[in-house]
């Protein structure tokens, strides 16, 4: 009996002990779990991982990969990126269907969109262009204030209507956009009520970053202001500086253009008009759109050449016989170059053109005294008004300064120097800010087949052609009597080589 009682007590003790031990371990596990949670929330990143490792090793390995993975810069199909080593490069999203032309790795860039479509009784053409130019602020006369003043002065130069300024974001930077309306003389306007806008629009703004100014110009034709401003603002908002994102879009392949520049001998009360005048000043301006090098080739007015539909004759007679079309054909046949456009002026246009540009400063390398042209200038640097500049360009009674032959050869080279000097008088930035409205002033004194769209295509390179990169060359030639005519004959081999070098410039 006593044994049974003893066994019963022993069983009770074992059960109680088991319960006590279970409670003990339950309490200990709970305390350990609370400590682990505290460590996870308050400990270091490595302690966190070790605590998680104890619970799920495979899970932490995946987490660790996500933590240490480095994201590659995103490449965007519809974006362009500049590639200069001079300034902070930029990236932007190109509007769909627009073309891109660049100079100097994005230092100057033009985005263009031309649409042609029937509207009303005529064929409506719209042109939208956005231009980016990057320049060192130290090159700006007057700094940023001078920049805005230069643009504002352009507005005051002509009968332009100022556009109320509005705000736009360039990335995250809020800026004011200013601009004006004008009517381009390069556009032949037909009677067409379908046009959204019969005026051109020019808009401008800029940002400053790391001592470089990023200028933005919108140039539109046939577009209303609301559409133009929305396009411009949309583009600016997506503009990124020094972005990790890169674009894959590339600029269009560059080429070259050749412009025939003629000075005809009409005006000053002469009895014949522009259409029947002879071209006494003849130049071909060649511009490489990729290297933005430029060459002006002077061609003697008395050069004896074949003229289509006529007997051989002096090259200045091509314009008198068939106007600019026959002149272009004649100069193409002689040079082997494709002439893209022509610009013509005469005595009545040349004088006010020079005066409008504020005169021209040029260095004369010999004393000149000619009663025929009324050119009286001593050797040295002179600032000439329109009348003096015309006299200089007409003076062929001279010995020459050693850089070329005397007589007409020296006169032609002097005329080329005047054209070059006019270009040099305006800085790169001034050319860009003033164009294309500035071109309309030139049209008052010249006539040309350049269209608004043509001007947009060469606008970037016009700003980047350096003064020292404009080379002056002449056709190697000599005087010769042909029948009773005093003419000029070219050296064929040397002339072929000259124009081959220009083609390959």
- Asked whether residue 89 carries a pLDDT value surpassing 90, the answer given is yes
Q: Supply the pLDDT for residue 268.
A: 56
Q: Which domain holds residue 153?
A: 75-249
Tokens 């091509």 found at: 318
396 and 367 assigned to the same domain: yes
* CATH number of the CATH domain containing 285: 3.40.630.190
Cβ atoms 426, 405 nearer than 8 A: no
**Range with the poorest average pLDDT among 22-26, 460-464, 495-499:** 22-26
86 and 101 assigned to the same domain: yes
CA dist., res. 131 & res. 456, Å (int) = 10
pLDDT in tens, 456-475: 877 766 655 554 568 889 99
**DSSP codes of every residue in 120-145:** TTEEEEEEEEEEEEEEEGGGSTTHHH
478 and 389 assigned to the same domain: yes
**DSSP codes of every residue in 33-82:** HHHHHHHHHHS-HHHHHHHHHHH-HHHHHHHHHHHHPPPPPPEEEEEEE-
34 and 81 assigned to the same domain: no
Check residues 53 and 293 and name the one with the higher pLDDT: 293
370 backbone dihedrals φ, ψ, rounded to 5°: -135, 115
186 and 263 assigned to the same domain: no
Helices (H), 158-258: 225-237
- Ranges 25-34, 240-249, 263-272, 421-430, most confident: 240-249
Structurally, the chain folds into a number of domains equal to 3
**DSSP codes of every residue in 288-301:** ETTT--EEEEE--T
pLDDT in tens, 277-298: 889 889 999 988 777 678 999 9
286 and 241 assigned to the same domain: no
* Band of residue 310 on the pLDDT scale cut at 50, 70, 90: very high
418 and 481 assigned to the same domain: yes
Q: Supply the pLDDT for residue 425.
A: 67
330 and 293 assigned to the same domain: yes
Q: Which of 68, 91, 121 is the last residue of a domain?
A: 68
**Bridge partners of residue 132, in order along the sequence:** 109, 216
Q: Which of 249, 273, 288 is the last residue of a domain?
A: 249
Strand order across the beta sheet in which 341-346 lies = 447-448, 341-346, 256-264, 279-288, 294-298, 470-474
pTM here is 0.71
367 and 417 assigned to the same domain: yes
176 and 317 assigned to the same domain: no
282 and 353 assigned to the same domain: yes
338 and 226 assigned to the same domain: no
Q: Which of 52, 68, 84 is the last residue of a domain?
A: 68
């Amino acid at each position: 009996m006593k044994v049974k009682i003893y066994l019963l007590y022993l069983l009770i003790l074992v059960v109680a002990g088991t319960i006590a031990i279970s409670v003990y371990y339950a309490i200990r596990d709970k305390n350990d779990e609370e400590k682990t949670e505290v460590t996870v929330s308050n400990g270091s990143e490595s302690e966190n991982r070790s605590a998680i490792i104890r619970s799920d090793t495979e899970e932490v390995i995946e987490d660790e990969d996500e933590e240490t993975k480095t994201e590659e810069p995103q490449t965007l199909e519809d974006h362009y990126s500049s590639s200069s080593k001079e300034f902070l490069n930029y990236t932007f999203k190109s509007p769909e269907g627009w073309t891109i032309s660049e100079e100097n790795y994005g230092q100057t860039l033009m985005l263009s969109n031309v649409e042609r479509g029937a509207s009303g009784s005529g064929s409506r053409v719209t042109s939208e262009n956005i231009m980016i130019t990057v320049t060192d602020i130290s090159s700006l006369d007057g700094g940023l204030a001078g920049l805005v003043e230069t643009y504002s002065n352009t507005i005051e130069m002509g009968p332009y209507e100022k556009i109320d300024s509005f705000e736009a974001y360039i990335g995250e930077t809020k800026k004011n956009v200013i601009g004006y309306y004008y009517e381009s003389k390069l556009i032949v306007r037909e009677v067409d009520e379908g046009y959204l806008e019969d005026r051109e629009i020019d808009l401008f703004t800029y940002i400053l970053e790391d001592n470089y100014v990023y200028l933005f110009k919108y140039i539109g034709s046939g577009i209303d202001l609301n559409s133009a401003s929305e396009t411009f603002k949309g583009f600016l908002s997506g503009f990124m500086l020094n972005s990790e994102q890169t674009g894959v879009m590339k600029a269009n392949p560059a080429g070259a253009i050749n412009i025939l520049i003629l000075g005809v001998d009409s005006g000053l009360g002469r009895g014949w008009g522009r259409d029947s005048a002879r071209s006494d000043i003849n130049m071909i301006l060649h511009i490489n759109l990729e290297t933005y090098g430029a060459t002006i080739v002077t061609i003697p007015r008395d050069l004896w050449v074949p003229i289509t539909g006529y007997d051989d004759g002096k090259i200045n007679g091509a314009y008198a016989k068939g106007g600019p079309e026959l002149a272009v054909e004649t100069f193409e046949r002689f040079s082997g170059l494709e002439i893209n456009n022509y610009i013509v002026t005469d005595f009545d246009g040349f004088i006010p053109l020079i005066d409008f540009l504020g005169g021209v400063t040029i260095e004369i390398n010999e004393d000149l005294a000619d009663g025929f042209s009324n050119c009286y200038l001593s050797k040295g640097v002179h600032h000439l008004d329109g009348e003096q500049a015309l006299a200089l360009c007409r003076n062929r009674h001279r010995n020459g300064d050693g850089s070329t032959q005397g007589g007409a050869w020296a006169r032609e080279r002097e005329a080329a120097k005047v054209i070059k000097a006019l270009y040099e008088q305006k800085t790169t930035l001034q050319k860009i800010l003033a164009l294309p409205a500035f071109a309309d002033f030139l049209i008052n004194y010249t006539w040309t087949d350049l269209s608004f769209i043509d001007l947009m295509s060469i606008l970037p390179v016009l700003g980047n052609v350096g003064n020292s990169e404009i080379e002056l060359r002449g056709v190697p030639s000599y005087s010769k009597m042909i029948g009773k005519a005093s003419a000029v004959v070219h050296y064929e081999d040397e002339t072929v080589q000259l124009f081959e070098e220009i083609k390959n410039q």
